[in-house]
Structure 1
Amino acid sequence: MDGLDRAVAVLRGRVETAEKELRDLKAQLAQAEQLAQDARSKENSNGPWKWPLEAGEYERYGRQMILPGFGVQGQVQLKNARVLIVGAGGLGCPAAAYLAGAGVGTIGIVDGDTVEASNLHRQIAHTTSRLGTTKAYSLYCYLHDLNPLPEYKLYEEHLAPQNAERIVSQYDVVLDCTDNPATRYLISDICVLLGKPLVSASALRTDGQLIVLNCPPAPQGSKGGPCYRCVFPQPPPPASILSCGEGGVLGPAVGTMGVLQAGEAIKIIIRGHHVPYSTDAYPTPDALPSPTLLLFSSPLSGPPSLRAVRMRSRRADCYACSGSSVLTLESLSDGSGMDYVQFCGGLPSPESTLSAEERVSASDYAATIRSVTKDHLLLDVREPEHFGIAAIDGAVNVPFSQWKQSINVEEDGGQVRPEWLPPTLRDDAPIYVVCRVGNDSQVATRRLKEMGIDGGGKRFIGDIRGGMRAWKEEVDKSMPFT
């Protein structure tokens, strides 16, 4: 298999090289054709070219230029605008596509991840042929094929305090298309410090939310749009954060939010709200736009819905945008002001949750425990949808989220045997817990012991290290894993 894998890798590399050469040739051809068309139009005109846009741009963007309130001036504003998209995933792909299609002059793309097969159902700019390439480059390929006229700038890295000022300072409007709290706070903070309006969105399962922040921008302590910290002063507890890998996400739901982000960015550009706050633009504090949080839901059963919730203005005690803020560009870049990962609860460290004696590897469980320890229980704590896709033979599915309903307590404080615990299982028979990647199973193991299921140490309770991912890698490579 190693020889075949190497052959596949070599062929894939050759295909990628050929495809890149072809893309470059197509790009050169498109640019040459555009230049030739513009030259012919000018040559056939009566005198010097006197229009603010090139001939091809009138043809390409004409359907939006005839919109009331948009016009040629709006198109010129888009052409002169610079928009940064942080995150080239489910939100960033549709947002970037509509901004490129609309003719935004410069589009920056920040993302250090690579394209995986699990991205493709919702991250519509990426393709099977670009698996393994960086998302920033893959999105660029899609956008350039869609519209070669804008300038695309790629940052194949993650946004961090050390590079945030260098990247964000070059743009007029920022779109937060990321999926983790630490980066959201960082993006908001740098936008406050640099005076950039921010369009932020998120999506999970079939729901999404969107809010325009720091718009209009204003110096710290001045009246302006609220920042992310004004709306969410404290991050959610790490244990409450559900990723799309665990909770799932519907492609059209996250796509809808990305499209809405593009629409808000276009409105900011053509309305001129990205200029610094001034009393001329907004004569009174009452004239400031009222910030709203847009909530979207598209349940699998029932019609979709959109609801706008009015949000508060800037907080007087906000860490980032208030007059008492100590946040500066220097403190952000050198790390002396805010540790974003620590602020959001730190990185998960599942290895420290259980001791080594409380954990077994997937291969050990398959080779020894399943074959030797006949009287035991394998408890799968994933959600039913994950369990229904693939499970280990003999596993009992008890989703961790439902345990409070699954444990009954007698009125006198004594504990009743849980309904999911097989009545034929001996009181000292061990219980092994498995989840998706080995995080929830550790929490579940600890919780089982807290509930007294181990009989005060009489019964062994432990988890399978690495979860179903490890099972696929070590035991059954044919098992589907999502």
Structure 2
Amino acid sequence: MNRFSRQVILQGFGLEGQRKLQASSVLVVGAGGLGCPALLYLAAVGVGRIGIVDGDQVDLSNLNRQVLYGEQDLGKNKAEVAAAYFQKKYRDIKWEIFPEVLETGNAKELISGYDLILDGSDNFPTRYLVNDACVLLGKPLVFGAIYQHEGQVSVFNWGKNSANYRDLYPEMPAASEIPNCSETGVLGVLPGIIGNLMALEAIKVLTGYGKPLANKVLFFNSLNSQSYEVELSPRPESSLQSPQTWEALESLDYALACEGVKQVSWEEVMGKMNSNIAFVDVRELDEKPELNCTGLWKIPMSVLSEKQDFLAHSEEILLFCQSGVRSLKAAQTLISVFPDKKISSIKGGMNALKKS
């Protein structure tokens, strides 16, 4: 008897359902609070090929909900740590690791190679980008999100006349409307529940077993353990807001459109340093490699709120981290504090500098 025997004997699932899973592939975008539990069960049920894309590093504040990591993983890339965990646990799955941020330049290459995309990202720019890419490529998308005590799950772009994320949220939110998880908080069990529901929806789509949440959004409240569903229909006006070609998608700045954060490249930054520009490294103090340049401030993301007054006299603020994820969040925070300053995040962080 093999490790899938309890699934195979399930009426209606059987050997055919198991073979479909083993022949299928899933790309998990974001190995965080939603991605970790989803990965645990996608691997356990036997999806044959799983890709993980995440350019972020494990932080101490992640550990209450991102259950694949421990204190020994702090500062390490999440995609690499997650894949290493599973490679020791299961030998019958092919793991593909992408320790980078999903962006307009790599979305087509990453997403096109998989049967289904599971979006466990925690920011609006990535959600809109993943959605738009899946629409252009005709890929089914399992969506999940959490906010304080509530979670949402849906299946987009699956079957005929299927709704997508823009039908649920047609307008990209303004920076002032975007909730900050570090301020609002979350109990670690909630993303576990939502992540498991996302894995369940992925399994249903891949095998045809059960009825996926297509054209429906499931809402779950952790305070009263109640859930309800809302019907969702495709909206012609929403589709007009999304890019119609890859050229149009690649020309969009999703971070600027959603969060009001401008991203710049290292090429734009080099040679620009002067006394009026604060060049801020928001990585932790022990992260490598170090960078020495004019106007450099080392203010880790973990203490930024306490040290932001040091930047009050700078006319322009440029932020970077290891991959570009934390610096985007830091820029959004500083924009709310210094709305009149020019604040930008360096795209790709140190990882991009090493490649250039």
- Written as runs of structure 1 = structure 2, the 5 A alignment for 1:89-128 is 89-128=32-71
Where 1:129 maps in the other structure, the secondary structure is: helix
Residue 218 of structure 2 corresponds to residue 294 of structure 1: yes
Change (3 A) 1:123 1:191: same
Is 1:150 matched up with 2:93? yes
Q: Is 1:226 paired with 2:163?
A: yes
Closer/same/farther in 2, CA of residues 247 and 348 from structure 1, 3 Å limit? farther
Superposition deviation, residue 117 in structure 1: 1.1
Please give the TM-score of this superposition, normalised by the length of structure 2: 0.71
Per-residue CA deviations over 1:77-125 (Å, capped at 9, x if unaligned) read: 0000000000000000000110000000000000000111111110001
Q: Relative to 1, partners in 2 of residues 1:224 and 1:439: Cα closer, same or farther, differing over 3 Å?
A: closer
Answer 1 or 2: higher relative contact order, Cα 8 Å, separation at least 6: 2
Residue number in structure 2 paired with 1:186: 129
How far residue 440 of structure 1 moved from its aligned partner, in angstroms, is 7.0
* Residues in 1 aligned to 2:213 and 2:260: alpha-carbon distance in whole angstroms: 35
Is 2:222 the counterpart of 1:308?
A: no
Structure 2's unaligned 5+ residue stretches are: 264-305, 307-329, 340-356
1:301-340 correspondence runs (5 A): 303-312=224-233, 314-319=234-239, 327-333=244-250, 335=251, 338-340=252-254
Aligned equivalents of 2:337, 2:256: Cα separation in 1: 24
Provide the residue aligned with 2:112 in structure 1: 169
Q: 1:348 Cα deviation (Å)?
A: 7.6
Larger deviation, residues 303-312 vs 69-78: 303-312
* 8 A Cα contact 2:243 2:249, kept in partner: no
CA distance in 2, matches of 1:87, 1:292: 23
Deviation at 1:131, TM superposition (A): 1.4
Structure ID, larger Rg:
1
Please name the residue that 1:12 is paired with.
none
Specify the alignment match of 2:141 in structure 1.
198
TM-score w.r.t. length of structure 1: 0.53
The partner residue of 2:261 within 335, 343, 347 is 347
Higher strand share: 2
Give yes or no for contact 1:82–1:104 (8 Å, CA) kept in 2.
yes
Q: Per the alignment, do residues 114 and 439 of structure 1 end up closer, same or farther by CA in structure 2, a change over 3 Å counting?
A: closer
Cα contact 2:33–2:195 (8 A) shared by 1: yes
User: For the structure 1 residues 233 and 445, does the alpha-carbon distance in structure 2 shift closer, same or farther, using more than 3 Å as the test?
Assistant: closer
Runs of 4+ aligned residues of structure 1 deviating over 3 Å after TM superposition are 287-290, 437-446
Identity within the alignment, %: 40
Alpha-carbon shift at residue 190 of structure 1 (Å): 0.7
Supply the distance in 1 between the matched residues of 2:38 and 2:212 (Cα, whole angstroms): 26
1:253 aligns with 2:177: no
Tell me the SS of whatever aligns to 2:130. Answer: helix
Secondary structure, aligned partner of 1:60: coil
Aligned amino acid, residue 156 of structure 1: P
3-state DSSP class of the match of 1:234?
Answer: coil
* Deviation, structure 1 residue 196: 0.5
In 1: Cα distance, 2:18 partner to 2:72 partner: 34
Say whether the 8 Å CA contact 2:21–2:48 is kept in structure 1.
Answer: yes
